[in-house]
């Protein structure tokens, strides 16, 4: 219980820190994503060593940190085309057509989830592309399927371009046409690309459906269900379609991605299912039954410590001692157990009797 309380306190502190410095943290995050995107392109398509320069990558990332996702995607496409052009101008023309179609597709449907287009190829390098559909399935609508699928296509376009760029016999028109046909056929016959896109789309859509249901621990169950669907989808593909996607890496990447989504969900929202309330109210037309699940937000305990100087301590002690003396004097009984007033009356009576 103590560990959970500490985690909730840390969560509250982290959320307040992000809200306070949000204008600074978001550009830093976009800078990291932009740099990884440009570095991944230069690593996969390293045909122009002058462009594949860390200084240029950092400069482009600094620009991308303050641009919307659609513009960042355009910069990445231009860098990829420039790299392919250094290897084959004819092949670069085909890449321009493919990216132009994808860009129109992305600009229309991606919206604020456009970063998925660059995140998927980057995470493929780290063998964790499953993080994107699991995360978007928790926070996005089914419209996030379009940028996710586009990111999958971009990754496999890079793979096909790498294979096609090794061909040198493209001096004649027939050879050029044959190259174009081979590239297009490789894309349309790439079973792994279509399979990956279909599984990612299914994960996002099913997670979106499940998390809209009304039962306890729906978010946690949704994350686990998405991971199971992803693993089963690729396992069935290995068995039925004879596609080797690396079962061990796929399972490990899915499990790690699932844990990261759990962490993200923890910082996003935590619900207290032990304090569920059922509220009923009505208006002129309807009677409402509402189930309210409170969010958990634990703030760190603040301890107020007051410090005193030596002079203030002496004054405080003297004042306390004086108050104690006054209290003792007022409450002290006289000899014989009588008060001062009773003693005075007794003495007056004695005097009168003597007289």
Q: Cα–chain-centroid distance for residue 17? A: 15
Instruction: Check whether 351 has a pLDDT greater than 80.
Output: no
**Residues 36-48: tens digit of each pLDDT:** 989 888 888 877 7
What's the rounded mean pLDDT across residues 205-213?
93
SS3 283: coil
Instruction: Check whether 256 has a pLDDT greater than 60.
Output: yes
What's the start-to-end Cα distance of the chain, in Å?
84
Instruction: Check whether 355 has a pLDDT greater than 70.
Output: no
Tally the C-alpha atoms within 13 A of residue 261's C-alpha that lie toward its C-beta.
28
Contact 70, 106 (CB under 8 A): yes
Instruction: Check whether 334 has a pLDDT greater than 50.
Output: no
Contact 167, 176 (CB under 8 A): no
Task: Report the pLDDT value the prediction gives residue 226, as an integer from 0 to 100.
Answer: 95
CA distance 165 to 83: 11
Residue 323 φ/ψ, nearest 5 degrees = -65, -40
CA distance 209 to 195: 21
What's the rounded mean pLDDT across residues 329-355?
50
Q: Between these two residues, 55 and 319, which has the higher pLDDT value?
A: 55
Domains of the chain, residue spans: 2-275, 311-354
Name the helix (H) or strand (E) containing 222. helix 218-240
**Residues 101-137: tens digit of each pLDDT:** 888 777 666 667 888 888 999 999 888 999 999 999 9
Q: Cα–chain-centroid distance for residue 36? A: 17
What's the rounded mean pLDDT across residues 230-253?
85
**Residues 59-71: tens digit of each pLDDT:** 989 988 888 888 8
In this prediction, residue 311 has a pLDDT band, given cuts at 50, 70 and 90, of: low
- How open is the CA angle 199-39-161, to the nearest 5 degrees? 60
């Amino acid at each position: 219980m103590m560990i959970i309380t500490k985690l909730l306190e840390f969560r509250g502190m982290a959320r307040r820190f992000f809200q306070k410095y949000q204008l600074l943290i978001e550009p830093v995050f976009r800078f990291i994503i932009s740099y990884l995107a440009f570095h991944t392109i230069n690593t996969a398509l390293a045909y122009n060593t002058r462009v594949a320069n860390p200084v240029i990558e950092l400069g482009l990332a600094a620009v991308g940190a303050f641009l919307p996702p659609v513009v960042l995607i355009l910069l990445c496409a231009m860098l990829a085309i420039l790299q392919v052009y250094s290897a084959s101008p004819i092949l670069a023309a085909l890449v321009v057509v493919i990216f132009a179609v994808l860009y129109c597709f992305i600009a229309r449907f991606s919206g604020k989830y456009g970063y998925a287009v660059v995140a998927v190829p980057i995470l493929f390098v780290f063998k964790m592309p499953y993080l994107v559909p699991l995360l978007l399935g928790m926070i996005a609508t089914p419209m996030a399927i379009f940028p996710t699928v586009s990111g999958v296509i971009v990754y496999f376009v890079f793979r096909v371009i790498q294979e096609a760029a090794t061909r040198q016999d493209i001096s004649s028109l027939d050879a050029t046409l044959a190259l174009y046909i081979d590239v297009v056929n490789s894309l349309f016959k790439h079973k792994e690309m279509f399979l990956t896109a279909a599984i990612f789309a299914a994960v996002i859509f099913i997670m979106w459906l499940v998390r809209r249901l009304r039962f306890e621990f729906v978010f946690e169950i949704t994350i686990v269900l998405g991971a199971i669907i992803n693993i089963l989808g690729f396992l069935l593909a290995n068995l039925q379609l004879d596609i080797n996607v690396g079962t061990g890496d796929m399972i490990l990447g899915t499990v790690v991605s699932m844990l990261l989504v759990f962490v993200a969900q923890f910082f996003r929202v935590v619900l207290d299912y032990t304090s569920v309330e059922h509220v009923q109210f009505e208006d002129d037309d309807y009677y409402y039954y509402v189930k309210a699940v409170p969010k958990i937000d634990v703030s760190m305990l603040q301890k107020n410590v007051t410090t005193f100087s030596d002079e203030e301590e002496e004054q405080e002690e003297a004042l306390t001692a004086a108050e104690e003396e006054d209290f003792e004097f007022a409450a002290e009984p006289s000899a014989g157990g009588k008060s001062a007033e009773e003693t005075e009356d007794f003495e007056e009576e004695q005097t009168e009797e003597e007289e």
